Amino acid sequence: MTEWKNTLALLNSPPVQNLSPRIPNRSAQFNNADQIEQFLHEDGHRAWGFVIYRCTYESNTDWEEFMRRLLANTEETLEGEGGLDLLDNLAVTVFEDSSFDGAATAVVRNHFKRWAATAAQQEQGIGPGMSERYLYCIQVTQDVLDSVLADEEGFVRLIRGGLEGV
């Protein structure tokens, strides 16, 4: 009975607005690839991607596997959303410096804020806009590394750096 109700609800629901050019039966609002492309256009940017701080140095092999999984997951997500073309503009910036080994969140945030203050102009030739690349960074500590390597449902530490005046 529930299946019939769900089917009727779908038939009676309004048509999807703002269809994805990548997956036409889906809203662009719920397609990560469409969202990335839209934000790049709105901000006048070419590159998008992650800023990552390596804060553990126990195993280079584990670190390499973490990065492999991150990039494979990114590619898999974009492929499922018709966005493999966006890989051409993916920029992954990794701060890999043993001085960050065991660094507190505040240390990473402060460094990221200093980096982000000038990075958009250097990378894009224009200000940061609302690009998440210049608002957030990923801190990879040993517990993060262990969680990602142990399970598909691992976690990362997302740090909001924020830009002055934003």
Nearest to 90 by CA among 121, 126, 52, 61: 52
End-to-end CA distance of the chain: give it in Å, rounded.
Answer: 50
**Distance of CA 137 to CAs 51, 92, 161, Å?**
5, 11, 7
Which stretches of the chain score pLDDT less than 50? 165-166
The pTM for the full model equals 0.84
**Distance of CA 100 to CAs 75, 77, 117, Å?**
28, 30, 20
pLDDT at 34: 92
pLDDT at 24: 84
Q: What residue has token string 């499922």?
A: 80
pLDDT at 23: 86
- Per-residue pLDDT tens over the stretch 143-158: 999 999 998 789 999 9
> Are the C-beta atoms of residues 133 and 91 closer than 8 Å to each other?
yes
